[in-house]
Amino acid sequence: MARKVLVLGEVRDGSLRNVSFEAIAAAKTVAEGGEVVAVLAGETVSALGTELVQYGADRVVVVENDKLKQYTSDGFAQALLAVVDQEKPEGLVLGHTALGKDLAPRIAGKLSSGLISDAVAVEAAGGNIVFTRPIYSGKAFEKKIVTDGLIFATVRPNNIAPLAQDESRSGEVSSLSVDIKDLRAIIKEVVRKASEGVDLSEAKVVISGGRGVKSAEGFEPLKELANVLGGAVGASRGACDADYCDYSLQIGQTGKVVTPDLYIACGISGAIQHLAGMSNSKVIVAINKDPEANIFKIADYGIVGDLFEVVPLLTEEFKKLKV
């Protein structure tokens, strides 16, 4: 059954986030040959419409308004709901990002719809659109279908492969004028934490340090390895609690959930709360002095040794591969 499916293109610092392209790929599956319409909301974002088409959107609807300069749940909900009202879609897909996690439940509430959140896979099977999502902190997966009404889902970054960019694709980029009603919260200024390099939640490679890193300086070899591999640095809560690094790096049940292609855990014991944030990584490498450490139970490759010896060796070897 062909459906019309809306996707929200997520913009950060003037560029589209990868998860937007992954959401388009998921929307294509939901659409089953129907139309995928991307939505862009912001102050001046229309120039990004073409890229969404190149990644598979059939059409783009742009809502530009100076009240959408900064993301607010109120403003973006008004914009997206106006597009929903115009397009009357049968499906809606957002990224399971900080923005998507905030916006999707509000939209679902306003539309009296259900929501399948944090999907890691979507397929058309047995006449249904089947979403797979992790439960019990990633220890099991459940499959869900929508039996009635809007098929509405958020998709976890880095899990659904985007379509290849095709610069020859063309599609209409139209604008919709929306009168954004007074916002109840107005963001005056965004003060960013100084962050180095790649965004942790979208990184293809994550090098994480735990209490075994022993100090803030102990993270330096990890940063160097991340640099060589074009990855991001993460941490266990043990490392954050010990003040070796900022809590924004924390991965786990009460931190970020990551699913990179490669996760290298250095000096991390593998507590269940840490595994909840990284166990779905495609390849897991663990470096730990203790051969009995729990992290080895889920690692694809384990290195028993001192991370301060092993990590610099890996960095040197990867550097050679890059030359």
Positions in the binding site for ligand FAD (CB under 6 A): 210-212, 236-239, 250, 252-255, 267-269, 271, 273-274, 277, 287-290, 293, 306-308
Instruction: For the CB of residue 252, give the shortest distance to ligand FAD in the complex, in Å.
Output: 2
38 vs 239 by CB, closer to ligand FAD: 239
Question: Is 273 marked as binding a ligand?
Answer: yes
Closest CA to 154 of 98, 200, 111: 98
Structure tokens at 95: 């990224």
Q: Is 253 a known ligand-binding residue?
A: yes
Q: According to the annotation, is 237 in a ligand binding site?
A: yes
Give least dist CB 287 to ligand FAD, A. 6
Confirm if 29 and 166 have CB atoms less than 8 A apart: no
Name the residue number minimizing CB distance to ligand FAD.
252
Nearer to ligand FAD, 91 or 238 (CB): 238
Supply the minimum distance, in Å, between the C-beta of residue 231 and ligand FAD: 18
Least separation, in Å, of the C-beta of 225 and ligand FAD?
14
Distance CA 4, CA 219 (A): 48
Q: Rounded to the nearest whole angstrom, what is the least distance from the CB of residue 222 to ligand FAD in the complex?
A: 11
270 annotated ligand binder:
yes
Strand stretches in the chain, DSSP E? 5-8, 11-12, 15-16, 36-42, 59-64, 91-95, 116-119, 121-125, 128-135, 140-144, 151-155, 172-175, 205-209, 232-235, 262-266, 283-288, 301-304
* Contact in structure between 277 and 252 (CB atoms under 8 Å): yes
The distance of closest approach from Cβ of residue 76 to ligand FAD in the complex, given in angstroms and rounded to an integer, is: 28
Angle, helices 220-229/307-322, rounded to nearest 10 degrees: 20
Distance CA 311, CA 181 (A): 54
CB of 205 to ligand FAD, least distance (A): 18
Residue with smaller CB distance to ligand FAD, 23 or 276:
276
Name residues whose C-beta falls within 8 Å of residue 168's C-beta, 6 or more positions apart in sequence. Answer: none
Task: Return the number of the residue (29 or 279) whose C-beta is nearest ligand FAD.
Answer: 279
250 labeled part of a ligand binding site: yes
User: Smaller CB distance to ligand FAD: residue 29 or 269?
Assistant: 269
**Largest interatomic CA distance in the chain:** 61
272 is in an annotated binding site: yes
Residue 295, annotated as binding a ligand: no
Nearer to ligand FAD, 114 or 312 (CB): 312
> In angstroms, how far is CA 306 from the centroid of its own chain?
32
- 254 labeled part of a ligand binding site: yes
**207, 226 Cβ separation under 8 angstroms:** yes
Judged by beta carbon, residue 56 or residue 277, the one nearer ligand FAD is: 277
Instruction: Note the Cα 129 to chain centre separation in Å.
Output: 21
How far the first Cα of the chain sits from its last, in Å, is 51
Whether residue 86 is annotated as binding a ligand: the answer is no
Binding region for FAD? 211, 236-237, 250-254, 267-274, 288
Binding region? 211, 236-237, 250-254, 267-274, 288
